Structure 1
Amino acid sequence: MAESSEAKVIPIRGRRGAGPDSDPSASSNYEELPGIGESLREAASLLAQGLAARTLGDDWQSKVSKGLAFARRRLTGDYEVDDLGFDPDLTENVLLAILRPLYHSWFRVEVRGIENIPAVGGALLVANHSGTLPLDGLMTHVAVHDTHPAHRHVRMLGADLVFRMPVVSELARKGGTTLACNEDAERLLDAGELVAVFPEGYKGLGKPFSERYKLQRFGRGGFVAAALRTGVPIVPCSIVGAEEAFPLLGNIEPLARLLGVPYVPITPTFPWLGPLGLVPLPSKWIIAFGDPISTDAYDRDAAEDPMLVFDLTDQVRETIQHTLYALLLDRPEAF
């Protein structure tokens, strides 16, 4: 019978050398196995870093660090909220972060004339209002904060309906929005804040798609009076793209009266697609800030001159309207 051969037995971990028949050569080879565990740990670490980089970007470590620091501040109460409820820490780290994918990837917002916004001190942004839902105000806040060298926040003036809505009211306050009244506007402007107003109000926000980019009446010029009393510049702001995001085709008036809201919109997707109909269309946006209109040459009493207020209001409105037409010609297509 041929010489019998025995299979080489590799010792099980933890039993190496545990017996008189253990193989010395196998024991010595096993000394290299612990290095495999270290290699696996390194591979797992690299894989985790790769997944984090793909999810959060190449600066994922900085983002994770900022996120942990933000959580610590919220837990310890180490953050500030002003008298009107504005929470800059929450706004910068949560609210604007949520809006940025919409701003960059969906609407592909292009900003022009950001140098016309002062680096310090009060200023009043006056913009056209459109698009069924007030996304134009949110995108303007992101545009100014992210593209201005001073990363300034915009304090929006909102209608009273905003502050009657649960959840929305709280988020609006924390995001810097306050009631659209002269008292609050002047208080913020005197404090050196950047304030934004949309004089068309719901008339502009809820106008039909057939009247897109045609400015509605600017009210009685209360925003001009506020600028005159505080001596801050007025910066016209023209926004193209919001009209196509939610094209308003009709209004369900009986339901709007029942709910106590200005309108219940009918758009190409709402209410036909249910909640999905609230997703805006990916229109191309341009936000342009015009040359500032100075008011510091007037004294506070000039705000009581109705003709001056009317002339400045008309000047701002005409500037925004002409800029809208120019931007529409410059924009290659809506989507």
Structure 2
Amino acid sequence: MPDSRPGPEPANEPEQGADVIPIGTSGRPGRGSGRARPSESARNLAGPRRTPRSKPPASPGPPPADAPVEPVETPVEPSPEPPAATSSTSAADRDPTAGIPAGDWLDAFKQAAMELFDDDWERRLAEFLAFLRRRLEGGYAVDEYGFDQEMTERFFLAALRPIAEKWFRIEVRGVENIPAEGGALIVSNHSGTVPVDGLMTMAVVHDRTGRFLRPLAADLIFRLPAVSSLARRSGATLACSEDAERMLRGGELVGVWPEGFKGIGKPFSERYKLQRFGRGGFVSAALRTGVPIVPLSVVGAEEIYPLVGNLPSLARLLGVPYIPITPLFPWLGPLGLVPLPSKWLVEFGEPIRTDAYDPAEAEDPMLVFNVTDQVRETIQQTLYALLRERGPVFG
């Protein structure tokens, strides 16, 4: 009877790409197909080759003739790497649950102090730590108006100084007209939508003379929760004749901006045109105390927030003098609150003496009006002169 089993496949028959691995072959390539090489499908199904575990031979003897010959992989030992630069405490030597050693904290703190306080870091760091201890213990003094001299000098004026020097590039003239001691009244124009000019004047006066300028502020400032406390601690007080006269008699340097909200809230089209100086209350205070009046002209503040519009109805609803609209605010949101970097010129004029008058003459309305007009005209003419000298607004 002829044998019905299929014979061996011809040697030159091309391999097919869709061989099926029979059940029970455990997925090993080549088993069940009768070939030494696995098909493409078997290679894809087998996955990456795993190195078999070494087993002792059951019995010596030659392998079967049809067993596939697998290449033997020789393990390659990694070459030793050069040791890395070690710090004071390496991660390998450190217990992972121990955290950062105290020595590393001290080294990092010392390096940060040297970068912050320069070469004199030990003394300045000790002063700073002593300052913090006094603040926490309440060991600091304020005067009868709430002025905190240490806080103002170390933090408030220190924060304003780089703005005055780097952002507005303030050029100061006539600083010799500020008295080195004793009471004096500095009278300035007011502008800028937000009273930044008053803050810059405080920084300039202290940096050039070492004296603290005590501003007379509107009552609105002291109705604002956070601003009120900051204003008191930085030396401001309510703009009233009683407080102004007490400060002047006490030898303080007092600053006043008679235009008030009419000056800082005027449209950009009326820039550098002085508004009415009120009823001359600052002149009456100077006449009663006999202190000099120093006119101050500030050019540059008008351009930091150009006022092009207002919302009076909303302002009345919120109880504020005006709601400003500038080319950047409120269109750019918080970014629109950044002041434009205009070039500033600040000039202190020649003092106007009042000690030649009798204190009782402060009740003479005609005298008060004449002195007020003299101060106002001096500031206005100086503004025109500074505008011609300044050149480009942002130059």
Instruction: Please report the TM-score for the alignment, with normalisation by the length of structure 1.
Output: 0.83
Aligned to 2:173: 112
Question: 1:228 touches 1:295 (CA, 8 Å); kept in 2?
Answer: yes
The CA deviation at 1:98 is 1.4
Single out whichever of 97-106 and 193-202 deviates more from structure 2: 97-106
The CA deviation at 1:238 is 0.5
Aligned to 2:164: 103
Give the one of 63, 66, 69 matched to 2:127. 66
User: What amino acid is the match of 2:251?
Assistant: G
1:88 aligns with 2:149: yes
Aligned to 1:147: 208
Give the one of 185, 198, 202 matched to 1:124. 185
Distance 1:255 1:90 in 2: 36
The CA deviation at 1:55 is 5.0
Aligned to 2:230: 171
Map residues 234-245 of structure 1 onto 2, 5 A cutoff: 234-245=293-304
CA offsets per residue over residues 214-264 of structure 1, 9 Å max, x none?
A: 000001100000000000000000011110111111111111111010000
Aligned to 1:215: 274
Change (3 A) 1:60 1:277: farther
The CA deviation at 1:64 is 3.0
Secondary structure of the structure 1 residue equivalent to 2:225: coil
Question: 2:113 touches 2:125 (CA, 8 Å); kept in 1?
Answer: no
The CA deviation at 1:329 is 0.9
Secondary structure of the structure 2 residue equivalent to 1:176: coil
Distance 2:327 2:246 in 1: 41
Secondary structure of the structure 1 residue equivalent to 2:187: strand
Map residues 169-318 of structure 1 onto 2, 5 A cutoff: 169-318=228-377
Distance 1:326 1:57 in 2: 42
CA offsets per residue over residues 25-59 of structure 1, 9 Å max, x none?
A: xxxxxxxx99x859xx99x969964x656555565
Distance 1:181 1:37 in 2: 64
Distance 1:189 1:229 in 2: 10
1:159 aligns with 2:218: yes
Aligned to 1:133: 194
The CA deviation at 1:153 is 0.3
Distance 2:279 2:160 in 1: 32
User: What amino acid is the match of 1:161?
Assistant: L
User: What amino acid is the match of 1:144?
Assistant: V
Distance 2:312 2:124 in 1: 46
- In structure 1, stretches of 5+ residues that fail to align are 1-32
Distance 2:185 2:338 in 1: 30
Change (3 A) 1:197 1:47: closer
User: What amino acid is the match of 2:282?
Assistant: F
Question: 2:186 touches 2:253 (CA, 8 Å); kept in 1?
Answer: yes
The CA deviation at 1:275 is 1.4
Question: 1:126 touches 1:235 (CA, 8 Å); kept in 2?
Answer: yes
Distance 2:240 2:330 in 1: 33
The percentage of counterpart residues that share the same residue type is 66
User: What amino acid is the match of 2:343?
Assistant: K
Distance 2:114 2:342 in 1: 29
The CA deviation at 1:78 is 2.2
The CA deviation at 1:334 is 1.0
Distance 1:137 1:78 in 2: 29
Distance 1:277 1:144 in 2: 29
Distance 1:224 1:82 in 2: 25
Of Structure 1 and Structure 2, the greater helix share is in: 1
Change (3 A) 1:129 1:46: same
Distance 1:60 1:284 in 2: 34
User: What amino acid is the match of 2:285?
Assistant: A
The CA deviation at 1:69 is 2.5
User: What amino acid is the match of 1:95?
Assistant: F
Question: 1:70 touches 1:93 (CA, 8 Å); kept in 2?
Answer: no
The CA deviation at 1:61 is 4.8
Q: How many residues align?
A: 298
